[in-house]
């Protein structure tokens, strides 16, 4: 009753249609580590939220936030040691060519900066992205989603089919031929932008295609597409908003999938909940961007962002979360893979570190996507105390992406609930 009345007030206050998860929405009042608690004190294991990467209510991060706010927090037009040190440390986590950072407050803003930077550097306008991408919600960045999903193309944006070994472009192709087929689609998108007169400024992509459903990528595609973009005189923007910050067991998704991007976008987990995002590139690129755009962002590059950002990096190192993501992630993925043969409705299990996708299908021959069962499974898991969601072009990939402090014990308790749900759903 209380929940219904809150939902009613929410519809009025926020507008009907402000998205809520689950058939019966959850009211969460407290979090600690990987655990969330509702108003009745019921515990839920958070296996969805990547933002609180070092755990909900992490005490070291909360302390850094409170101390900085009690000392000084101000906009970026003053010298401040902490901001410079944080930028240096962040750039130092990337490959050698990455030297400078532009801070912002959201993944959308950081992608905007990246696109503007690519356009300043190349003098061209055209962008290429996948046909199931999500990079943010501003008019420019949001139009990347629009282009891909709805098949619309503006005169400055082209989509290409994301590389996928499970639902490949052509039947019966070798992996090498499949890779070639996807590269040909990227080349066609670039050609079309050039014919349009927009020219080609950048390819923007998530290094593990998280929103696309974590597809297995044909070997060699990422490095070869990077070479193709460079041959065209354009830049590769990598969106690490989901894949970065130790999620895959490496600092960055691009290390896992093997290529060297020119511009790197980071967001979500950077502030463990404090709005904090960044775009990193070579000093020359950042200098050129700053000279042309005169970029200022009131809440970014602040002492508060720097103090919290440093505390998050410290916690990732202190808690050895790169190792945890690798070890717990690999074990859970392998346990889940064992279930593919047991349930016809599980088509595939794949992932990187603590980012795992379970592809739900209607039929193992046709591999028809089953969005309805994926949603049902996510609701049933919630009823058993485990929070997950789903992703992918067809909304049929159960998405497991917990805070990085998720343990082997958490994985074991999840598997018990998962098996029970699969049993119920097949009965
Ligand atoms: C890959 C990716 N990039 C960018 C964004 C946008 O980030 P924000 O919501 O912080 O603007 C998202 C958000 O889900 C995302 O998944």
pTM, to two decimals: 0.97
**In whole angstroms, what is the distance from residue 93 CA to residue 55 CA?**
21
Q: What's the gap between Cα 155 and its chain centre?
A: 27
pLDDT of amino acid 191? 97
Ligand 1 centre distance from Cα of residue 419 (Å): 31
242 Cβ closer than 6 Å to some ligand 1 atom: yes
Ligand 1 centre distance from Cα of residue 134 (Å): 7
Residue 94 · residue 264 · CB < 8 Å:
yes
- Beta-bridged to residue 278, according to DSSP, are 103, 266
Q: Could you give the count of Cα atoms lying within 13 Å of 67 in the half-sphere of its Cβ?
A: 10
Res 342 pLDDT > 70: yes
Apex CA 354: angle with CA 107 and CA 220, to 5°? Answer: 80
CA gyration radius, the chain: 22
Q: What's the gap between Cα 365 and its chain centre?
A: 30
In this predicted model, what pLDDT tens digit does every residue of 364-395 receive, in sequence order?
999 999 999 999 999 999 999 999 999 999 99
**In whole angstroms, what is the distance from residue 52 CA to residue 405 CA?**
9
pLDDT of amino acid 328? 98
Q: Determine which residue's CA is closest to atom 7 belonging to ligand 1.
A: 107
357 Cβ closer than 6 Å to some ligand 1 atom: no
pLDDT of amino acid 300? 98
Q: Determine which residue's CA is closest to atom 13 belonging to ligand 1.
A: 136
136 Cβ closer than 6 Å to some ligand 1 atom: yes
108 Cβ closer than 6 Å to some ligand 1 atom: yes
The pLDDT of 293-307, averaged and rounded, is: 97
pLDDT of amino acid 150? 62
355 Cβ closer than 6 Å to some ligand 1 atom: no
In this predicted model, what pLDDT tens digit does every residue of 112-155 receive, in sequence order?
999 999 999 999 999 999 999 999 999 999 999 877 666 667 88
The pLDDT of 347-351, averaged and rounded, is: 97
pLDDT of amino acid 184? 98
Residue 32: band (very low, low, confident or very high) from pLDDT cuts 50, 70, 90: very high
Q: 162 is written with which tokens? A: 């994301």
| Mutation probe of ligand 1 site: the residue of 103, 108, 214, 272 with most atoms within 8 A of C-beta | 108
In Å, what is the CA distance from 404 to each residue of 40, 189, 321, 322, 382? 26, 37, 6, 8, 20
| Mutation probe of ligand 1 site: the residue of 134, 209, 272 with most atoms within 8 A of C-beta | 134
Say if residue 374 is exposed, middle or buried (CB neighbours under 10 Å; 0-12, 13-18, 19+). buried
Q: How many residues does the chain have?
A: 427
Say whether 205 sits in a helix, a strand or coil.
strand
50 Cβ closer than 6 Å to some ligand 1 atom: no
The pLDDT of 87-107, averaged and rounded, is: 97
Res 79 pLDDT > 80: yes
């Amino acid at each position: 009753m209380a929940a219904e009345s809150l939902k009613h007030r929410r519809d009025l206050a926020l507008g009907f249609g402000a998205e809520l998860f689950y058939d019966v929405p959850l009211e969460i009042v407290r979090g600690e580590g990987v655990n969330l608690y509702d108003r009745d004190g019921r515990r839920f294991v958070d296996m969805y939220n990547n933002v609180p990467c070092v755990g909900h209510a992490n005490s070291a991060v909360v302390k850094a936030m409170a101390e900085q706010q009690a000392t000084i927090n101000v906009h970026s037009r003053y010298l401040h040691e902490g901001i410079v040190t944080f930028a240096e440390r962040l750039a130092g986590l990337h490959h050698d060519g990455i030297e400078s950072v532009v801070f912002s407050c959201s993944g959308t803003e950081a992608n905007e900066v990246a696109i503007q930077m690519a356009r300043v550097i190349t003098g061209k306008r055209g962008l290429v992205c996948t046909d199931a991408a999500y990079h943010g919600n501003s008019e420019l960045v949001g139009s990347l989603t629009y282009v891909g999903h709805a098949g619309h193309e503006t005169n400055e944006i082209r989509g290409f089919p994301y590389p996928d070994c499970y639902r490949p472009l052509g039947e019966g192709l070798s992996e090498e031929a499949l890779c070639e087929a996807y590269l040909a689609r990227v080349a066609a998108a670039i050609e079309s932008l050039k014919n349009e007169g927009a020219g080609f400024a950048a390819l923007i992509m998530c290094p593990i295609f998280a929103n696309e459903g974590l597809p297995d990528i044909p070997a060699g595609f990422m490095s070869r597409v990077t070479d193709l973009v460079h041959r065209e005189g354009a830049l590769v923007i990598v969106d690490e908003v989901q894949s970065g910050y130790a999620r895959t067991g490496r600092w960055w998704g691009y290390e896992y999938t093997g290529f060297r991007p020119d511009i790197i976008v980071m967001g979500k987990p950077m502030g463990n909940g404090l709005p904090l995002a960044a775009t990193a590139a070579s000093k020359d690129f950042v200098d050129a961007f700053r000279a042309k755009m005169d970029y200022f962002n009131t809440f970014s590059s602040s002492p508060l962002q720097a103090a919290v950002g440093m505390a998050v990096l410290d916690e990732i190192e202190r808690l050895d979360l790169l190792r945890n993501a690798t070890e717990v992630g690999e074990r859970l993925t392998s346990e889940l893979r064992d279930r593919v043969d047991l349930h016809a409705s599980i088509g595939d299990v794949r992932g990187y570190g603590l980012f795992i996708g379970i592809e739900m299908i209607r039929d193992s021959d046709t591999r028809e996507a089953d969005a309805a069962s994926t949603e049902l499974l996510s609701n049933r898991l919630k009823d058993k105390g485990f929070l997950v969601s789903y992703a992918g072009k067809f909304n049929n990939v159960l998405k497991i992406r917990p805070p990085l402090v998720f343990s082997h014990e958490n994985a074991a308790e999840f598997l018990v609930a998962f098996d029970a749900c699969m049993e119920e759903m097949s009965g």
